[in-house]
Structure 1
Amino acid sequence: MSKRILAADDSAAMREILGVTLEEAGYDVTTASDGQEALALALKSQFDLVLTDQHMPAMDGLKLIQSLRQMEAYDAVPILVLTTEFGESFKLAARDAGASGWLLKPIDPLTLAEVVAELIAHEDA
């Protein structure tokens, strides 16, 4: 059974890139257009990894991470932030919220697939 990934991004193009890249790598991908939709999906289903954009309407990535980390089912699930922010203050805020890591946009599909595989392998260990 393939691992399930939840990918939240307000950009339809980015959701398409994430979906195609990760499905080609063998994952089952569900997408959400903002943090609220992602949280609703996470409440209904269990995912093995969550990808989130930082800047989204309704609920940003850090608030999504904080909400997920309050749920027992997601206290140890890897969460990767996809962002254009590279400052140290953002990295600290993301880590404090419970992010497992982050990747800078634009996302290189090969790097994304490698990082996701590492995070999922670490979760299984």
Structure 2
Amino acid sequence: MSASILIVEDDDMIREMMDVILTQAGYNVSLAAGGEAALDLLKRSRFKLVLLDVHMPRVSGLDVLKTMQALGRTMPPTVMVTANRNAETVGEAMQLGCVGYVAKPFTPDVLRARVRSALAGPQTPASDKTVYV
């Protein structure tokens, strides 16, 4: 069974492009055009990963993360998608539980690699692995 991914992006073209890339890669994709729709889907469905735009009208990506925390809901691993490389914004997203970000514009290969990495979870560096012989 393929992983279920929620894409939250207010730009129609970017959202559709991400949908095509990830659907062709074999993922089960759901779409939300904004933060309000994302919150509704997150309350009703389970996802393995969320790709969340930072800057959206009315309810931003950061607001989605804050609202889910306030409701006591556990967010799936979340990768922020942003044209904003402001260290403060990225830092705030990480403090709210974000596992990484994809900078716009991005290539299909970058998006697929970031999704694979986020779904794989945190990796232990080779130097931290104990090997018994």
Do the aligned partners of residues 24 and 69 (structure 1) sit closer, same or farther apart at CA in structure 2, a change above 3 Å counting?
A: farther
CA contact (8 A) 1:10 1:56 kept: yes
**Residue 34 (structure 1) aligned with residue 34 (structure 2):** yes
Do the aligned partners of residues 21 and 92 (structure 1) sit closer, same or farther apart at CA in structure 2, a change above 3 Å counting?
A: same
The aligned runs of 1:16-95 (5 Å cut-off) are 16-70=16-70, 74-75=74-75, 77-95=76-94
Q: TM-score, normalised by structure 2?
A: 0.85
CA shift at 1:71, angstroms? Answer: 5.5
Do the aligned partners of residues 73 and 47 (structure 1) sit closer, same or farther apart at CA in structure 2, a change above 3 Å counting?
A: farther
CA contact (8 A) 1:69 1:98 kept: no
How high is the sequence identity, in percent, across the aligned residues? 33
Match of 1:11 in 2: 11
CA shift at 1:98, angstroms? Answer: 1.6
Number of paired residues? 122
Name the one with the larger helix percent. 1
Q: TM-score, normalised by structure 1?
A: 0.90
CA shift at 1:73, angstroms? Answer: 5.5
Do the aligned partners of residues 71 and 29 (structure 1) sit closer, same or farther apart at CA in structure 2, a change above 3 Å counting?
A: farther
Computing the radius of gyration over CA atoms, which structure comes out larger, 1 or 2? 2
- Structure 2: runs of 5 or more not aligned: 123-133
1:80-108 CA distance string (max 9 Å, x none):
00001112111211112221111110121
Match of 1:101 in 2: 100
